[in-house]
Amino acid sequence: MKKFSFIAHMPDTPGSLHRAAEIIKKYEGNINRIQYDRRIDPATVFYEVTASKEAFREITRDLALIGYLQTSLKPQDFLKFCVYLPHQPGALYEFLKITTSVGANIAFIDFDDKGRHPDRLTVSLNLEQSSVVDHLLNQLKSCYRLEILEYDTTGKHLDDTVFYVRYAQAIRELIGESEENFLLSFLADTNHIVQELMAQGNDPRKVFESVLITGKTMWATTRDRFYADVQKFQITEHCTLFCFQVPCGGNIFLISTTEEKILIDTGYGIYHPDVLSMLSRYGLGDEQQVSRIIVTHADADHCGAAGYFTAPIFMHQGTLGIIKKNNRAFGSRNEHSILEEFYTKMINLFSKFNSPANVECFSQHWVTMRGIFPVIDLVRIGDLELEVLEGLGGHTHGQIYLYSRKNGLLFAADSLINFSSLTKERADYSSFAAFLVTSVNVDSDLAKKERKALLEIAFDTDKALITTGKRCLICGGHGAVSVLEENNLVSYGRVDRYQPYNS
């Protein structure tokens, strides 16, 4: 027995759900999930059933025979026109006989014999086959005076009676043409989180909108619309630190020495060409100049471009596990969360996540502690030494931090962020993730504990450096590089704006 999912497209009539349930029962299938909301789409129903492979084949065959099985999400044609009907009994009936005969679904109809055009009927139709349009128009022209107002074959003008077809078309625009089975699967996954968030009192339309805006915002900030806020710090005589705040998602850090250049996190895969152009603009060479990459954690905005580089990638074993499982909640108490699993698949898809091949994992053997964090490795970059601290798994399993007490550096990943330094655009984008997974942390209690411990490390480091005039630079996963002022993170140093057209 296995769990299968499928989408049914049913007539909005009494007994349709009962008829489908009867077929599933006939072959001893067990319905694990069903979701239907006519406010969203009056004809689309999502199912998950447990059955044997043979039984599932029989179920889908019988559903297909009665026209209930959805196998395609290709956009329907949209046709809007006016016809002039005679004022006589049965005129509308005769007109509708023609539209029904070609399988046209009426999306809009408008007629009023006391209006400005007492003999004009305005109609919008959704048609599943382009080939019937000419046939329909020829029939109508032979009977009525006809005016075509609009004809669209892209799916952009479909109304809410075919909501999921419209939604699939919007997804196509983000990811390009895909196989129907993939789109149907993605649609079912989206519907599942809609069902989950509706149960928590959320508006389903907001869920669909948040998914689409997440992808659209990334696409809208590439190429000539790409930008970054940039900070530069001289850490040692031979080490320079750059922080690049890209439009969406996490920061990219680069440590440059005379011998090598090391990246800490890579940003989204979709930004990779733009990031390379930016590095070149700052005299940091191309991707061949990057000798090592350290990944703090598995979220796509921090490691999604890692696979585009040839340099070895260093990460925690837990981070590698999340990448392989394609589930950011892997290794946490929320590992089976539908929201986390869908969000990971969605964001990886939209952001062009490229899994790294050349991966080396930190040892995870530790002999000392830094506060509550095990020190599992040591990274040397020129004359700079960074301890690798193992996180507790509050934000994600396998998240690490990098720390130098001597040089006042703390790479805090997504556990310490100066939210006040985020632009409105970045804050708005981040809010979509928080809404879709309800919390960006897979374990909020552990996340709070980690944040408190990291602030204590920063505070103690500032005390240790007080005679040198240095500060502990807190390099959060988002926002500006900051320092601690009375328990608040405050942006530190100059921030420049990089934009390609100003280069």
Domain holding 138: CATH number?
3.30.70.260
Pick from 18, 37, 65: which residue ends a domain?
Answer: 65
Q: Are residues 282 and 246 in the same domain?
A: yes
Q: Are residues 32 and 127 in the same domain?
A: no
Contact of 32 with 195, CB cutoff 8 Å: no
Residue 158 lies in a domain: no
Residue 28 lies in a domain: yes
Q: Are residues 356 and 454 in the same domain?
A: yes
Where residue 285 falls (left for φ over 0; alpha for ψ -120 to 50; beta otherwise) is: left
Residue 160 lies in a domain: no
Number of domains in the chain: 4
Q: Are residues 265 and 312 in the same domain?
A: yes
Each residue's pLDDT expressed in tens, for the chain with a length of 503 residues: 899 999 998 888 889 999 999 999 999 999 999 999 988 888 899 999 999 999 999 999 999 999 899 887 766 677 888 889 888 889 899 999 988 888 777 888 888 877 777 888 998 887 766 667 778 888 888 888 888 887 766 655 545 556 787 788 889 889 887 778 888 899 999 999 999 999 899 999 899 999 999 999 999 999 999 999 999 999 999 999 999 999 999 999 999 998 999 999 999 999 999 999 999 999 998 888 999 999 999 999 999 999 999 999 999 999 999 999 999 999 999 999 999 999 999 999 999 999 999 999 998 788 799 999 999 999 999 999 999 999 999 999 999 999 999 999 999 999 999 999 999 999 999 999 999 999 999 999 999 999 999 999 999 999 999 999 899 999 999 999 999 998 899 999 999 999 987 65
Give the pairing of strands 44-51 and 145-152: unpaired
What pLDDT score was predicted for residue 158? Answer: 46
Domain that holds residue 176: 165-217
Beta bridge partners of 404: 409
Reduced DSSP (H G I as helix, E B as strand, rest coil) percent helix, strand, coil of the chain, to 5: 40, 25, 35
Distance CA 457, CA 370 (A): 8
Contact of 454 with 403, CB cutoff 8 Å: no
Give me the half-sphere count of Cα atoms (radius 13 Å) on the Cβ side of residue 82: 9
Contact of 481 with 493, CB cutoff 8 Å: yes
Distance CA 119, CA 171 (A): 41
Nearest to 478 by CA among 391, 398, 404, 411: 411
- Reduced to 3 states, what is the DSSP secondary structure of residue 322? helix
Q: Are residues 204 and 252 in the same domain?
A: no
What pLDDT score was predicted for residue 87? Answer: 83
Q: Are residues 230 and 208 in the same domain?
A: no
Q: Are residues 30 and 146 in the same domain?
A: no
What pLDDT score was predicted for residue 117? Answer: 78
Q: Are residues 388 and 288 in the same domain?
A: yes
Q: Are residues 178 and 257 in the same domain?
A: no
Pick from 196, 217, 238: which residue ends a domain?
Answer: 217
Residue 34 has φ and ψ, to the nearest 5°, of: -140, 140
Q: Are residues 146 and 190 in the same domain?
A: no
Pick from 34, 65, 96: which residue ends a domain?
Answer: 65
Residue 110 lies in a domain: yes
CATH number at residue 409: 3.60.15.10
What pLDDT score was predicted for residue 493? Answer: 95
